[in-house]
Amino acid sequence: MRRYTLGIAGREFVIDVQEIDADRFEVEVGDQRYEVTLAGDEDVPEATVTPALAPPQGSQAPSRPAAAAPTRTRAAPAGSAAPAAAPARAAARGGAWALNAPMPGVILELYVKAGDSVTRGQQIAVLDAMKMHNFIGAPRAGTISEVCVAAGQAVGHGDPIVRFAES
């Protein structure tokens, strides 16, 4: 699970994102829980976020496309629609820019360090799970910005192993 604490227009939102599947996420905002499907996950290096994209207010909420389908029937309070849409992006960030442990185990070996550039499929680590040495390969080409674990460290499902630089 990943937890994002975002300050939006002076309000703080704690958003918990749990990856269920490659394109399905369970997102918890405050006491609301949503099941979110990730339709696209793009890297848009040229685009910059401008102040015009300030979070919409409650009045706009009903007109927003239903990116997130609430699993509870209780109506979302005004203002929570915007954060509900945000986690989909946030989750995509977490999914796209980090290599997460596919199952619980122990990291036996690490073959990269911060600053290394890797190609897709290049070996990043060996994960010992159920006494089997598993090949962990890079999900994308890019530069490693951070190595989140040390050799010999136990990891849970979804814990980040390395992060990639976002450019």
Partner 1 sequence: MDPGTLGLLLQGLTHVTPQSAVMMTVAMVLLYLGIAKNYEPLLLLPIGAGCLLANLPLSPLIAEDGMLRVLYDMGIRNELFPLLIFIGIGALTDFGPLLENPRLVLLGAAGQFGIFLTLLLALLLGFSRPEAASIGIIGAIDGPTSIYVSGLLAPHLLGPITVAAYSYMSLVPIILPPIMKWLTTPQERRIRMPYSQRVISRRTRILFPIVVTVVVGTLVPFATPLIGMLMLGNLMKESGAVERLTKASAQEIANTVTLFLGLAIGSTMVGSEFLKPSTLAILVLGIVAFAVDGIAGVLFAKLLNRLSGGKVNPLIGAAGISAFPMAARVVQKVAQDEDFENFLLMHAMGANAAGQVASVVAGGVLLALMGAG
Rule CB under 8 A: choose which of 7, 12, 21, 51 binds partner 1: 21
**Which ranges of 6-157 would DSSP assign to H, the alpha helix?**
81-97
SS3 readout for 16-60: EEEECCCCEEEEEECCEEEEEECCCCCCCCCCCCCHHHCCCCHHH
The Cα–Cα gap between 139 and 128 comes to 19
Q: Please, what is the minimum distance in Å from the beta carbon of residue 103 to partner 1?
A: 5
Segment contacting partner 1 by CB under 8 A, of 31-39, 46-54, 63-71, 130-138: 130-138
Tokens of 111: 């073959």
Q: Please, what is the minimum distance in Å from the beta carbon of residue 21 to partner 1?
A: 5
Rule CB under 8 A: choose which of 9, 49, 53, 130 binds partner 1: 130
Position 154 contacts partner 1 (CB under 8 A): no
Position 111 contacts partner 1 (CB under 8 A): no
Footprint of partner 1 on 69-108 (CB under 8 A): 102-103
Q: What angle do CA 85, 155, 20 make, to 5 degrees?
A: 30
The Cα–Cα gap between 77 and 62 comes to 11
Give residues in contact with partner 1 (CB under 8 A).
Answer: 20-22, 102-103, 121, 129-132, 134-135, 137, 139, 157-158
